[in-house]
Amino acid sequence: MGSLTSTLLGAANALDVFQYALNISQNNIDNASTPGYAKQGASLEADPFDPALGLSGGVSQGPMVDSRDLLAERDVWQQSSAAGDANARNEALTMVQNAVPVADGSGIPAALQNFFNDVSAWSVSPTDGTARQAVMDSASSLVDSFHTTAAAVSQTAQSTDEGIASTVDQINQLTAQLGKMNAGIQAGGQHDAGLDAQVYSTLETLSGLVAINVLPQQDGTVSVSLAGGAALVVGPQAYSLAAQPAQPAGAVIDPGGLPHTDIYAADGADVTSQVTSGTLYGQLQVRDVTIPGLIGDATQPGALNQLAQTMAERVNQIVSQGSVSAGVPSPGGLFLTDPAHPSTAAADLAMDPNMTASQLPAIDASGAPNGVPLALAALAQPQQAADEIDSVSYTTFYGNTAAEVGRQLNQAQSDQSLTTQTLSQAQSMRQTEQGVSLNEEALQVLQFQQAYQATAKLVSTLATLTQSVIDMIPS
């Protein structure tokens, strides 16, 4: 009777175990499309069988098996960061490229060409008032083109700053969410598959914004830091980042130059160097490298300012040495610049108010009646020795500057295409390792249902036998 009872109890326990396994499979099926979910498995353990000791065997519920593969997760995070970087650079560089046009008939190249065409026409008729006025008008248009381009690049810098601020806000929101999830895990949610899925889905989103290191803890929480070690999440505590303007490192040539945008940790430490990939890194690269290369910062003039300053100084040198007529020297140069602020030369370039069309000198120092316009027209070609600007003409210098932006954009677009593919591959491999296969789960459900039904019949049979034995006992 004791053996029959123990067998009945063992079979009843098996029913609970198989129901437990069925519940896990059902949970897997329900969460097959849940972001961040890793399939779970039921582990079944054999009970010891030794009739002499009253051990009837059977099956018991073992610990739940989590398929989470941290290597696969880290690969996804790495590729997600690379994709975020490429996407951010592509977006920001597209705005920069639009700010420095190179198409025929637009921007600084067209204004330079019009100016040189007008001074060439003036050299044919050096005393013609209409030709002189055309030179003044084209010079004014050239000034406007520098202003427009510099303003467009500055606007791009502002837009990129706004993008950086938005990205930092998103990072802080996600780390705050992870802190709350860690608190939930510490409060008893260590084996909550839904909470675990939320954690890893959030980590993947965060990795696209900034490269992170993730260290799972024994209590089920995750600690998150930047690549260089600055803490973002420790237990329930989240540490916010901040984007702030800062002067770049290097010898200062213009204290009023465009500041960089740096990233600071919650304790005030500069952690910009720890941002090594992700959307934030791509935005910072364009904001603190590409854009200053065009419009300067405290340590460099920038290509557009270098072009404006060099062109204006050379034109002024030629014009100021000329004569309006015999014995009437030039009243000055054609443009106004401020050498004290080399990083704003393009934005500050202006026409000299003392120069008018009637006073524009055509006679050079040697007495040639059209020497000044000929010398100005020659500036369309590469300069000599000390007057060189990278040994190319002004138009070519601008074209090379814009081409460098285009090269960076092409690289960003190529990187975007590549990282999109590699991210997809990493996600696919992760899915293979820990994703839910509905076919596998359907097979598991079928097997456990059959086992449950067979055990249920055994329980029913044992119950009947037990009752029969009880009925045989005399009252």
**Secondary structure string (H, E, C) spanning 392-447:** ECHHHHHHHHHHHHHHHHHHHHHHHHHHHHHHHHHHHHHHHHHCCCHHHHHHHHHH
Q: Which residues of the chain have pLDDT under 50?
A: 1-2, 385-386
Q: Domain range for residue 236?
A: 71-301+394-427
Other CB atoms within 10 A of residue 215 CB: 11
Give residue 103's pLDDT: 75
Cβ pair 279, 289 in contact under 8 A: no
Residue type for 58, please? G
Cα atoms in the 13 Å half-sphere on the side-chain side of 175: 28
> Do both 124 and 26 map to the same domain?
no
pLDDT tens for 332-362 read 999 999 989 999 999 999 999 999 999 999 9
The angle formed by the CA atoms of residues 419, 421 and 426, to the nearest 5 degrees, is 90
The verdict on residue 365 lying in a domain is no
The verdict on residue 326 lying in a domain is no
> Do both 62 and 81 map to the same domain?
no
The verdict on residue 163 lying in a domain is yes
Q: Measured between alpha carbons, how far is residue 219 from residues 41, 66, 180, 191, 208 in Å? A: 20, 15, 15, 10, 26
> Do both 46 and 103 map to the same domain?
no
Tell which residue, 390, 398, 328, has the closest CA to residue 113.
398
The verdict on residue 78 lying in a domain is yes
| CA distance linking residue 475 with residue 470, whole number of Å | 10
Give residue 42's pLDDT: 59
| CA distance linking residue 475 with residue 473, whole number of Å | 6
The residues, any chain, with a CB within 8 Å of residue 280's CB and separated by 6 or more, are 84, 88, 164, 167, 168, 171, 209, 210, 263
The verdict on residue 229 lying in a domain is yes
CA dihedral 295, 282, 107, 398 (to 10 degrees): 60
Q: Measured between alpha carbons, how far is residue 431 from residues 21, 58, 123 in Å? A: 22, 34, 74
Residue indicated by tokens 């951010």: 88
Question: Cα 111 to chain center, whole Å?
Answer: 35
Give me 423's structure tokens. Answer: 């991210």
Cβ pair 92, 287 in contact under 8 A: yes
> Do both 172 and 27 map to the same domain?
no
> Do both 265 and 399 map to the same domain?
yes
> Do both 186 and 100 map to the same domain?
yes
The residues, any chain, with a CB within 8 Å of residue 221's CB and separated by 6 or more, are 182, 185, 186, 235, 236
pTM of the predicted model, to two decimals? 0.84
Q: Give CB contacts under 8 A, 24+ apart, made by 419-424.
A: 419/79, 419/82, 419/83, 419/85, 419/86, 420/83, 422/79, 422/82, 422/83, 423/76, 423/79, 423/80, 423/82, 423/83
Coil/strand/helix, residue 31: coil
Which DSSP string do the residues of 48-95 spell out, in sequence order? Answer: PEEGGGTEE--EEE-PPEE---HHHHHHHHHHHHHHHHHHHHHHHHHH
> Do both 62 and 76 map to the same domain?
no
> Do both 62 and 77 map to the same domain?
no
> Do both 288 and 406 map to the same domain?
yes
Give residue 381's pLDDT: 85
The verdict on residue 373 lying in a domain is no
Cβ pair 436, 32 in contact under 8 A: yes
> Do both 193 and 88 map to the same domain?
yes
Task: Specify the number of domains making up the chain.
Answer: 2
> Do both 10 and 121 map to the same domain?
no
pLDDT tens for 55-90 read 666 666 656 556 678 888 899 999 999 999 999 999
Coil/strand/helix, residue 362: coil
Give residue 56's pLDDT: 60
> Do both 82 and 222 map to the same domain?
yes
Give residue 1's pLDDT: 43
Give residue 441's pLDDT: 54
The angle formed by the CA atoms of residues 431, 433 and 434, to the nearest 5 degrees, is 70
Give residue 25's pLDDT: 60
| CA distance linking residue 126 with residue 361, whole number of Å | 9
Residue 37 region by backbone torsions, left for phi larger than 0, else alpha for psi between -120 and 50, else beta: beta
| CA distance linking residue 109 with residue 149, whole number of Å | 11
Phi, psi angles (nearest 5°) of residue 396 = -65, -40
Give residue 458's pLDDT: 61
Residue type for 270, please? D
The verdict on residue 306 lying in a domain is no
The residues, any chain, with a CB within 8 Å of residue 114's CB and separated by 6 or more, are 138, 141, 142
Cβ pair 195, 185 in contact under 8 A: yes
Give residue 2's pLDDT: 46
Tell which residue, 175, 268, 277, has the closest CA to residue 228.
277
| CA distance linking residue 409 with residue 425, whole number of Å | 24
